[in-house]
Structure 1
């Protein structure tokens, strides 16, 4: 199955992307993917399929992990991102929330948030206040813990902080890498609701998730990455009904008529 995402302005366009680590390890091969303006796109795949590598290539952090784009292009609107650094991506409006949260444990919640808005503050200080208000509206719990060290927060609170820190840069495209990883079911539902709300406010989302049920419920379009190559793509609802996705990612038997 292969379908293009809905027509309209393309926030992100990845075309024919090859990525290698070192000189020999091929991580991505001829990967093409689009995220429409204001949309949510899910990227599914087993561990080691290359999902995080793709996000790193888009966000400009690939070189920090000894990886390199060897073919293909990455464009966000009119801006070429392939071969650029993370600062260029953030300036273009693309911000990544890494797997494992990666908050600054020794800094307070407020200091973590301010670190996310440094570039924005240099250009438009008033926008930092607006971004902070947005974060506290989405995550009232963070507003109650502004002076608490981030390392003392629960796992769910740290995920809130990681997303909030990214939102401080006022992204137009948010790259989320496994936001539900290691969280209790109730917190997973809370994070899913926040992702939906962020998107409703106009921010596009590229969502990498092991929790395929959650990802497909949020996304309009989805891709399945299989050992560095796109194996399936299509509207999220259609992919959720395919035998392969139901069996491999939703934990359902192929002949189960109760598929979502």
Structure 2
């Protein structure tokens, strides 16, 4: 991906003003007794970028599973509340129907099909998607290869032999094959080198610029708050804080808990190099 000319990205379907994701009073349980989410409500406007912050175990991944329809695969149940997209109820619908409605998840840990080639992984992203003609698939594949040239170079290589960063690119590319109107991203920077994190951040910005809404779950709070318009903080299954991302980035509580800063001592950052590097790298790659 060249820093002098932005890649040509897949063109999502035209964004309608009603393409908003609504989560209303959502509660989720695992098994018979473990309640993972309590009365969670959030709004992702059409074409917006919203991030969900929180520590491990806060319920962030559970939220994405509930939205994407994959919760039953993990023995989870929506016990109360509603998820809708563009005014269409998603709660209780199978994951394939959610994808067909335009909501696609990129799971934590990539979960590419390691034994299949890059090209076959991308083909899998078209399964169950309306408009499965060969020309549509060919055009979608070409656009993903324009976005991630390394995938084009390795299209016949087994996905399991790719680096972690390349697998993340493949996971995002596979999701884009479905031409989503909203993309659910679960920890896209997890375990990646700073330069790769910056490139992934650049891709997220460009995808959103074309009108695709994004719900981003990310433990790298500094990165997430730079990418998002609005942010929610999830704590033990409940929404603890919410507001414009820029305002939350100045909140003493968010700075102390998620940015590693000490507001009482003048707000000087105490991030270690592993946390600080992705932010600095992102600034270098921003246009």
TM range (shorter): over 0.9
After TM superposition, the structure 1 = structure 2 runs for residues 58-97 of structure 1, keeping only pairs within 5 Å, are: 58-97=67-106
After TM superposition, the structure 1 = structure 2 runs for residues 207-222 of structure 1, keeping only pairs within 5 Å, are: 207-222=216-231
Q: Which moved more, 1:204-213 or 1:115-124?
A: 115-124
The whole-number CA distance in structure 1 between the counterparts of 2:260 and 2:47 is 30
Shift of 1:57: 0.2
- In the alignment of these two chains, the number of paired residues is 253
Is the Cα contact below 8 Å between 2:129 and 2:178 reproduced in 1? yes
The whole-number CA distance in structure 1 between the counterparts of 2:201 and 2:33 is 38
The whole-number CA distance in structure 2 between the counterparts of 1:135 and 1:239 is 34
Shift of 1:78: 2.2
Counterpart of 1:241 in structure 2 is 250
The whole-number CA distance in structure 2 between the counterparts of 1:137 and 1:243 is 42
After TM superposition, the structure 1 = structure 2 runs for residues 1-150 of structure 1, keeping only pairs within 5 Å, are: 9=18, 11-120=20-129, 123-150=132-159
The whole-number CA distance in structure 2 between the counterparts of 1:121 and 1:173 is 16
Unaligned segments of structure 1, at least 5 residues: 1-7
The whole-number CA distance in structure 1 between the counterparts of 2:101 and 2:67 is 11
The whole-number CA distance in structure 1 between the counterparts of 2:104 and 2:96 is 10
Is the Cα contact below 8 Å between 1:120 and 1:128 reproduced in 2? no
Normalising by structure 1, we get a TM-score of 0.94
SS at 1:182's partner residue? coil
Counterpart of 2:206 in structure 1 is 197
Is the Cα contact below 8 Å between 1:121 and 1:128 reproduced in 2? no
1:6-39 Cα offsets, whole Å, 9 max, x none, are: xx64510000000000010000000000100001
The whole-number CA distance in structure 2 between the counterparts of 1:172 and 1:10 is 7
Is the Cα contact below 8 Å between 2:106 and 2:183 reproduced in 1? yes
Normalising by structure 2, we get a TM-score of 0.85
**Regions of 4+ moved over 2 Å:** 118-127, 255-260
Unaligned segments of structure 2, at least 5 residues: 1-16, 270-278, 280-287
1:104-129 Cα offsets, whole Å, 9 max, x none, are: 00000000000101223754432222
SS at 2:129's partner residue? helix
Is the Cα contact below 8 Å between 1:10 and 1:34 reproduced in 2? no
Counterpart of 1:5 in structure 2 is none
